[in-house]
A and B are shown apart, each in its own frame.
Chain A
Amino acid sequence: MCAPITVTTGGAVSGCTGACQVMPQILASLGILGVLIWNFRGLIGKRLNFRKVNS
């Protein structure tokens, strides 16, 4: 026969051709983003408040 279908299609399985293929990367990025926001929450809060006062 030949190589599996998923080798030729790049793993596009029944309806899932996009985000599911890079789900681990998406989740990892969201995690990193969460940590960054948490780390700089003070700074971000100040910045948001500053804008509010000036607007």
Chain B
Amino acid sequence: MAVWMKRFILARNLTLQVEITNVCNLNCKICMRHGFERPNGFLSLDNFKRILDSGNFRYVGLHGWGEPLLNKQLFDMVRYAESKGVSTNLTTNGTLIQENIDNILSSGLWEIAFGIYEKELFSRVTSQIERLIEQKRKRNSKRPKTYLDITIYEGNLEQIPELVRLVPELGIDAVILHRLFNVYKVDSSVKYISEEEEEELFARLRQLASLLKLELYLPPKHSYPCRIVKRSIFVTLEGKVTPCTYLPEFYLGDALEQGVSKVMHSKAYSDFVKNMKNHPICSKCQW
């Protein structure tokens, strides 16, 4: 079967998110990985293949609660997924781009996001992002599409417009903003902004985006089932299937034993989706 046929016609519009590592070289205060008691490790290429082949997906997100560029088999996974007609994407903290530029550009990776939450961290990685984009231009390559992915919280409210202004200067293709997840296993001192502040910020960013001719993605109003559950399924490093990246310990089945598709057709999964509104964590989540 032609790869394009699988990519655009036969695949279900669903993203498989696979946690290819839970090891990270940063210690971000907004991240929930501090709260986990799971052993650290890396997903093997063989297990990745088994997980990917156990369902019909259009996209695969190669990151979880760790830095994906630390997994030495990452680009073999990208090549494998692309050969199967599954579009690949990942979110990185940007600190390891320099040593991976060639692989990022030649592996066939479709999309890459630089996940940030404060200006200081971003300024540490901008030179690496610039080098990647410069190389991409030199090779006249369209892939991967680049995004700046900003987590909104109380502490960076004033910095966000400034960060967004940097995007066209750096040559990044688009900006994604999403709300902070601070329901459990996170530093409780990290707070989200108020509804009024959010409204004001989004209006300001919309204006800025139209002025700068920027592709901007703002989070819609939260609803149930939420967009994460509607559009994706998460598989942990251990091969456990959970409905969302923010529920890494809410296991619904085993991807390596049962396969992802079977878990998604299970009663446990449909019951979760039906009762999401009353779930102790989902009911408080605004992502």
Contact = CB atoms under 8 A, between A and B. Distances in A.
Interface in B44-74: 58-59, 61, 63-66, 68
Most buried by B among A7, A10, A23: A7
A49 interface: no
B147 A5 contact: yes
B89 interface: yes
Contacts of B176: 5, 8-9
Q: How large is the interface on B (under 10, 10 to 19, 20 to 34, 35 or more residues)?
A: 35 or more
A43 interface: no
Given A13-B87, A14-B111, A8 B59 contact: no
Contacts, number: 93
Nearest to A21: B13
Given A7-B228, A8-B217, A13-B111, A1 B91 contact: yes
Interface in A2-55: 2-11, 13-16, 20-21, 23-24, 27
B145 A14 contact: yes
B108 to A, nearest CB: 11
Contacts of B227: 7-8
Contacts of B58: 6, 11
A8 B111 CA distance: 13
Most buried by A among B10, B66, B68, B91: B91
A16 B58 CA distance: 13
A25 to B, nearest CB: 11
A30 to B, nearest CB: 12
Contacts of B182: none
A23 B232 contact: no
A5 B219 CA distance: 12
19 contacts: A1-B115, A2-B245, A3-B178, A3-B245, A3-B287, A4-B17, A4-B63, A5-B89, A6-B59, A7-B231, A8-B176, A8-B219, A10-B231, A11-B13, A11-B59, A14-B144, A14-B145, A21-B13, A23-B8
Interface of B: 8-10, 13, 15, 17, 31, 58-59, 61, 63-66, 68, 87, 89, 91, 93, 110-111, 113, 115, 142-145, 147, 149, 151, 174, 176, 178, 181, 217, 219, 227-228, 231-232, 244-246, 287
Given A5-B111, A11-B15, 4 more contacts: A1-B245, A5-B91, A10-B231, A21-B13
